[in-house]
A and B are shown apart, each in its own frame.
Chain A
Amino acid sequence: MLTKRIIPCLDIKEGRTVKGVNFEQIRDAGDPVELATIYAKEGADELVFLDITATNERRKTLSELVNKIAHHINIPFTVGGGISSVEDVQLLLKNGADKISVNTSAFKNPNLIDQLALEFGTQCVVLAIDTKKESDGNWYVYLNGGRVKTNILCIEWAKEAVSRGAGEILLTSMNNDGTKQGFALDITHQLSTQLGVPVIASGGAGTMQDFADVFENAKADAALAASIFHFKEIAVPDLKQFLANKGIPIRI
């Protein structure tokens, strides 16, 4: 049976992880390769690396890092952050990334999704959406890391992106992100049940039960989290055992 996926996310700046980590067995908390190796050993199903470097050197630094990660990691990984062209993607895939995620650049130029799907296949095109529930009760798409609001509904953009060739949706709820109060179940459920591609839920994970809820109630295919893993509030093996005990299909 296909299992639900647990995905730790690492934020990268100039080739180093930026959010703090709290691992006893780690020598260099800033080394993404060392951290990623630990997660892979602990049973993470995939990894996401989100690059937040803003310098001109970013393409070179990132592709070098991806190459290093690909040498060491024996599970699939996605790279995202500032990717805006076929050439960017080609460079990252050539260095060993399995998938890439696009966000603002794809919203501004939706044709990018078609181009990437045609060139590399839909299986490596992940569309990331940052979304926020407004007072009118609707979920809207936000751009530029959540700083710019649009008038487009999350579900509409997701459907268009899938029709253009997005192979997976990485959905981050801005209302929930950082709250540790649980994932946004309503919008995750809406996307998971209305789209023909997998949905990765992100934002809000605080307890192991939150993961159970997003899989069982919101029908997410995968769940992503960062700080709760980095600070060892929840260990990947414990989480997977907890979910398996609840009868959720999980790789142990």
Chain B
Amino acid sequence: MKTVIIQYNAGNIQSVLFALERIGVEAIVSDDEEQIQHADKVIFPGVGEASTAMQYLKHRKLDQLILQLKQPVLGICLGMQLMCKFSEENNTQCLGIFDEQVAKFNPGEEQLKIPQIGWNNIYDLQSGLFKGISNNAYCYFVHGYFAANGMHTIASANYGITYSAALQKDNFYGVQFHPEKSATVGEQILKNFIDL
């Protein structure tokens, strides 16, 4: 079993690596085409801003590489958003794996704080990714933008609006929360991904 975390200018690579280590999974961090293509599992992390991240991926030709992957791929946070079609964050064309669009949270009447920071419950869980996870389990979120609910939604959350906590299409999975920081729930989700 070979797990590769895609190396790019994302902020949470180290945390993902440590989390995998805690569940006994050895992973390598790489931006090498060969390494990524031959991995059994690929993790696409992300903390940062969408347009800068997309530029970086294109510059390294990682955008084309990701689209061609056939093994299970897990996008985390910004990684998941970049797998969507389009992000309002600096009007960025993204990878287009998921048809869902990424929009900015609206403070609304409740005067919500943006970004959302903290633990929120996830529900309507519809994937093997959530095996053993109870409905309304809490996960740790940090994000100012969200992917709308759509045909690829496999888990929902609510912050003023109901949005996609997770997406899936074929071998591509994405989670908006940070499983690497979501206590035992997050560790179980990472384990489930590795066991897919």
Contacts and interface: CB of A to CB of B under 8 A. Distances in A.
Interface residues of B, number: 35
B195 interface: no
A193 B107 CA distance: 12
Secondary structure of the B side of the interface? Answer: mixed
A221 to B, nearest CB: 7
B183 interface: yes
Contact of A5 (B18, B115, B118): B118
A93 interface: yes
Interface stretch (A16-24, A68-76, A101-109, A228-236): A68-76
B192 interface: no
B119 A45 contact: yes
Secondary structure of the A side of the interface? Answer: loop
B140 interface: yes
A45 B19 CA distance: 17
A225 interface: no
Given A1-B121, A45-B118, A198-B117, A75 B138 contact: no
Given A71-B18, A123-B142, A76 B181 contact: yes
Say which size band chain A's interface belongs to. Answer: 20 to 34
B159 A2 contact: yes
A70 B13 CA distance: 12
B47 interface: yes
B58 interface: no
Contacts of B114: 196
Query: Which has the most chain B C-beta neighbours within 10 Å: A98, A120, A196, A197?
Result: A98
A12 interface: no
Contact of A222 (B11, B116, B118, B141): B118
Interface in B38-95: 47-49
A81 interface: no
Interface string A69-112: 01110111000000000000000011110100000000000000
A100 to B, nearest CB: 12
B158 interface: yes
Nearest to B13: A94
B157 to A, nearest CB: 9
Nearest 6 pairs of A and B residues by beta carbon: A251-B138, A251-B119, A76-B181, A123-B142, A3-B119, A2-B120
Interface of B: 11, 14-15, 18-19, 21-22, 47-49, 107, 111, 113-121, 138, 140-142, 158-159, 178, 180-184, 186-187
17 contacts: A3-B119, A3-B120, A5-B118, A70-B18, A74-B22, A75-B140, A75-B181, A76-B181, A93-B14, A96-B14, A98-B181, A120-B11, A121-B11, A121-B48, A121-B49, A124-B11, A193-B111
